[in-house]
Structure 1
Amino acid sequence: MDYQHIRLPAGGEKISIQNGRLHVPDQPVVGYIEGDGIGPDIMRAALKVWDAAVLKAYGGSRKIHWCEIFLGEKAAALYGDPFPQEAVQALEDLVVSIKGPLTTPVGGGMRSINVSLRQALDLYACVRPVRHFPGVPSPLRCPEAVDVVIFRENTEDVYAGVEYPAGSAEAAKLERFLKEELGADFHQGSALGVKPVSEFGSKRLIRKAIRYALDHGRKSVTLVHKGNIMKYTEGAFRNWGYELARTEFADQTITEEALGGVHPGQLPDGKIVIKDRIADIMFQQMLLRPEEFDVIATLNLNGDYLSDAVAAEVGGVGIAPGGNIGDFIAVFEATHGSAPKYAGLDKANPGSLLFSGVMLLDYLGWQEAARAVEAAYTSVVGRKIVTYDFARQMEGAREVKTSEFAEAMVAAMG
């Protein structure tokens, strides 16, 4: 299709979906969004590293052709709109993309572009792998015990955006209905929000988590919820998860209860354990017994809190990757904010975006390139060559700029 501002690179071939599978050519066109604030700094650095990893892994037989797509402040300058429809269309057209952080006003202003994007493209699974890399400073005594992949439902829950400000006509109308028709009791003049949780949305998220666990040799999937309080939303999420495992994965799953009874403590070959934890307890157990958890499936708000909290255990959101994935379309992203006070200073840690690119490479099926990025990162950080945020936590560190960190990683790849 023709675009107003987006220019497709010459020589590349679009990724496609064929016979229900992703078809990735050797010269794919992949979209990228610089992002706001520190976005341009870390994206420039990351692109150099990813290209070097692909070259090292495949010696020129494969290459990513990068296509810039515009969202956020850059889009507002070009289109007069921070969320132009052309960008959404291009992300759908190219199938696989990656983005830097985008600014969202707090307590007012425009709606989150990130949330709008997930809903517009039905990117229902926010996937956040969290693990420790040697040399990265951590508050835990044994951060290497943390190795989880969090699947967070992306389109429902209180993030669905069904909310009305206090004092508005909409809130007053909903308040009357809830009180007069349903007998609800709450303070007059409240701001009101609706928490939709569907069987369809819950099951497709949990299905993706179970399939991931089976495909990657993981041992368990934990359903995290607050079903003891919100029985008909979060409690239903838990129940639908067990039902899905029972009906669609009966030969490949076993409940924690059965593991302790019929198969005392011994996981049968070829099976994964399905278990559940109440959300507040899960935060504690991820600190005290992180080795007991492998893949986590949870709702939108729980997943937002939990993924950032667990990331803090292994070095923080500055190196935490993420991907928003639908049935096929995927937009990988840096999981931190745009940090505007550091914009243009060539100072920010590019780790989150770098590892989101590792997820992208794995998604393409280019595992050799993905492992090359990880190996280079481990080598560079192991020599205590780090950006300012890690340098202040490490003795004997050599503090470098964002661009210099990328150069060190490229050099580590030979």
Structure 2
Amino acid sequence: MYEKITPPDTGSRITFEDGKPIVPDDPIIPFIRGDGTGVDIWPATQKVIDAAVQTAYGGKRNITWFKIYAGDEACDKYGTYQYLPEDTLTAIKEYGVAIKGPLTTPIGGGIRSLNVALRQINDLYACVRPCKYYPGTPSPHKEPEKLDLIIYRENTEDIYLGIEWRQGTEIADKLISILNNDFIPATPEHGTKQIRLDSGIGIKPISKTGTQRLVRRAIERALSLPKAKQMVTLVHKGNIMKYTEGAFRDWGYELATTEFRAQCVTERESWILSNKEHDPDISLEDNARKVEPGYDALTPEKRAEATTEVESVLSAIWDTHGNGQWKEKVMVNDRIADSISNKSKLARMNTRFWQR
């Protein structure tokens, strides 16, 4: 099965049931040492992990490590440009897990980034990054202890799909010509926009499927946390990229209000419900006026749209989410990427979901 590596004689494989790992007491975990600082980082990392397992389980559980190869070390073992050998991909698939150190960006060999290649080959669509302050750690912030969030970043589509063409190539020039002469003028909202002729071209696909599986993971994680931390924020640039970033936001809300309807409430829904709780006799129009900024300056059509939204929310979820019940749900909201990066706002966040 393997060309140049041999699995350990001891240990057991991690198996999966309905997408959830079933971890034995002696799991076999493939590891990639990595390049550069990986030579120093990995041995220390292994000692820390082994010591943590020993402390946590008192010898009842232990990891069996299985060395596999990628990056420069793989080229040394498998040959020139063999940055990601088939042995490595087979082992990751067979054992269902792997840990790696930092990897070099190959020069030649057809792989732009080994990290991106591993994500795409194994469909590792969620980059999960917990961010929490630990007492005693130096920080430039006044109240760093308030930082406690988890970032879920899309890992396989959008710009990470990596489809682009270099400036001056035949395909790039052809695409620019088609876009400038045919597609852009045929779309009135783009006006007189044009792509400069000396541009490189890349595409930025964001799918409903990719969006919703990522949001699903974030919501499922939020549901496992204490009530005070059950919040999911969809971060995007939908103010500029309406059909990709804006769609990401809309598809996230759609998932929350369908698949997780009983467990979630959106921020706007909470405003509508709260308005009625404070004033049971409030009219639909006055409720909409409190929810929608500049309501009285809107066109009649926009005012009617806001009022209909209020009516729909109250009709659909007042019985299940009203009278304060929404306060026990996962709050789902969204923010523009520019504003979420503000440090003071970031420090006040709990569990968040970040797309970029």
Structure 1 and Structure 2 fold alike (TM over 0.5): yes
Offset, 1:169:
1.3
Distance 2:10 2:136 in 1: 40
1:289 and 1:131 map into 2 onto residues whose CA distance is: 15
SS, match of residue 98 in structure 2:
strand
Aligned counterparts of 1:204 and 1:20: Cα–Cα separation in 2: 13
* Matching residue's letter, 1:127: V
Q: By how many angstroms is 1:134 displaced?
A: 1.4
1:196 paired to 2:205: yes
User: Distance between the aligned counterparts of 1:234 and 1:93, measured in 2?
Assistant: 35
- C-alpha displacement at 1:125, in angstroms? 0.3
Q: With the length of structure 1 as denominator, give the TM-score of the two structures.
A: 0.68
User: 1:54 aligns to what SS in structure 2?
Assistant: helix
Task: Verify the 8 A CA contact 2:158 2:205 in the aligned structure 1.
Answer: yes
Match of 2:354 among 298, 304, 314: 298
Cα 1:230–1:19, aligned 2, differ >3 Å: closer, same or farther?
closer
Q: Which residue is 2:128 aligned to? A: 127
- Identical columns (%): 46
Report what 2:177 is aligned to.
176
**1:260 maps to which residue?**
271
Q: What is the aligned partner in structure 2 of residue 221 from structure 1?
A: 232
Instruction: For 2:87, give the aligned amino acid.
Output: E
Deviation at 1:151, TM superposition (A): 0.2
Partner amino acid, structure 2, of 1:228: N
Q: Which residue of 2 aligns with 1:152?
A: 153
Which 4+ residue blocks in structure 1 deviate beyond 4 angstroms? Answer: 264-267
Q: Which runs of 5+ in 1 are unaligned?
A: 303-414
Please identify, of 144-153 and 183-192, the stretch whose mean Cα deviation from structure 2 is larger.
183-192
Equivalent position of 1:46 in the other structure = 45
Q: Does 1:60 align with 2:59?
A: yes
Match of 2:221 in 1: 212
Which structure 2 residue ranges, 5 or more long, are not aligned? 186-193, 278-323
Question: C-alpha separation between the residues in 2 aligned to 1:19 and 1:257?
Answer: 34
Cα deviation, residue 231, structure 1: 0.3
Q: How many residues align?
A: 297
Q: Distance in 2 between matches of 1:26 and 1:295?
A: 31
SS in 2 for 1:254: strand
Q: TM-score, normalised on structure 2?
A: 0.79
Cα offset, 1:295, TM superposition? 2.9
Paired with 1:260 and 1:291, the residues of 2 have a C-alpha distance of: 23
Larger radius of gyration: 2
Contact residue 151 and residue 295 of structure 1 kept, 8 A: no
Residues 1:25 and 2:81 are matched in the alignment = no
Please state how far the C-alpha of 1:147 moved relative to its aligned partner. Answer: 0.6
Q: CA RMSD in A?
A: 2.1
SS at 2:274 equivalent: coil
Displacement of 1:83: 1.6
1:281 corresponds to which of 330, 334, 339: 339
Q: CA deviation at 1:260?
A: 2.8
* Separation (CA, whole Å) in 2 of partners of 1:155 and 1:23: 25
Q: Structure with the greater relative contact order (CA < 8 A, sep ≥ 6): 1 or 2?
A: 1
Structure 2: which amino acid aligns with 1:234?
E
Tell me how far 1:105 sits from its aligned partner.
Answer: 6.1
Match of 2:87 in 1: 86
Name the CA shift for 1:105/1:88 in 2 (closer, same or farther; >3 Å).
closer
Residue from 252, 255, 272 that aligns with 1:244: 255
Distance 1:4 1:267 in 2: 59
Pair 105,281 (structure 1): closer, same or farther in 2 beyond 3 Å: farther
Map 1:297-336 to 2 at 5 A: 297-299=353-355, 302=356
Describe the shift of the 1:183–1:56 C-alpha distance in structure 2 as closer, same or farther (beyond 3 A): closer
Contact 1:213–1:295 (CA under 8 A) maintained in structure 2: yes
Letter in 2 for 1:295: T
Does residue 235 of structure 1 match 2:254?
no
Q: 1:13 maps to what in 2?
A: 12
- The one-letter code of the counterpart of 1:87 is T
